[in-house]
Amino acid sequence: LIFIMHLQEFVTVLVRDPRTQKEDSWHSYIDYEIFIHTNSMCFTRKTSCVRRRFREFVWLRQRLQSNAVLIQLPELPSKTPFFNMNNPHHVDHRRQGLQEFLEKILQDALLLSDSRLHLFLQTQLSPEDMEACVSGQTKYSVADAIHNFASLNRRFPVEDEDRKKGKNDADSDSESSSSGLGPSDDSVSCGCKASPASEES
């Protein structure tokens, strides 16, 4: 008897490490780290780590829904006027809701084919830049954006090339802006600042 082992595809997504970020002297928001580990052929990188705020999740859901009209997308945690970013229970409840949202989305093959989802999960591009990239208005492709972000943002071991070099900087709790990245003309803007806005975090 010959047994052929099929490697089961998996995608692990963790939404963790909520942090308060100051936008200006009056406004703050919370962002969350999204960690992806996968062996799925759908993903350009098998390990990635980015930070996103609630408003960006709202944008992602709207864009995915407009592209997959027949699919009923899972809900995001409700946007409540009583949300208090200083209340750990509120923050953790939202974090769990965001993780469940991503877990459900990543089980749908049609949604997985949307480039915006991959840019959202594996780069720090703003929604405007993600739209521009997907519609071909940037010098870089979706795959370029993901590779550039991964090669510049060495906060976690990225596949084998880093293991050989000896885990350089494997502290996944370090502040993403510590990579010192800023926007440059040709390369992808991989800085970790979200685009400024004053609406809900």
Tell whether 117 is covered by a domain: yes
Alpha carbons 30 and 51: distance in angstroms, whole number = 10
pLDDT category, 143, cuts 50, 70, 90? very high
Q: pLDDT value at position 199? A: 42
Tell whether 185 is covered by a domain: no
Tell whether 199 is covered by a domain: no
Q: pLDDT value at position 1? A: 62
Domain with 70 in it: what CATH number? 3.30.1520.10
User: Per the structure block, which two tokens stand in for 127?
Assistant: 């929604």
Range of the domain at 61: 11-153
- Residues whose CB is less than 8 angstroms from the CB of residue 83 and which lie 6 or more positions away in sequence, other chains included: 90, 94, 200
Alpha carbons 23 and 193: distance in angstroms, whole number = 9
- Residues whose CB is less than 8 angstroms from the CB of residue 153 and which lie 6 or more positions away in sequence, other chains included: 49, 124, 176, 179, 181, 190
195 versus 57: which is more confidently predicted? Answer: 57
Tell whether 186 is covered by a domain: no
- Total domains in the chain come to 1
pTM higher than 0.85, yes or no? Answer: no
Tell whether 201 is covered by a domain: no
Lowest mean pLDDT of 28-37, 92-101, 160-169, name the range. Answer: 160-169
pLDDT of 112 higher than 90: yes
Tell whether 188 is covered by a domain: no
Tell whether 158 is covered by a domain: no
Tell whether 6 is covered by a domain: no
In contact, 105 and 74? CB cutoff 8 Å: yes
Alpha carbons 21 and 16: distance in angstroms, whole number = 15
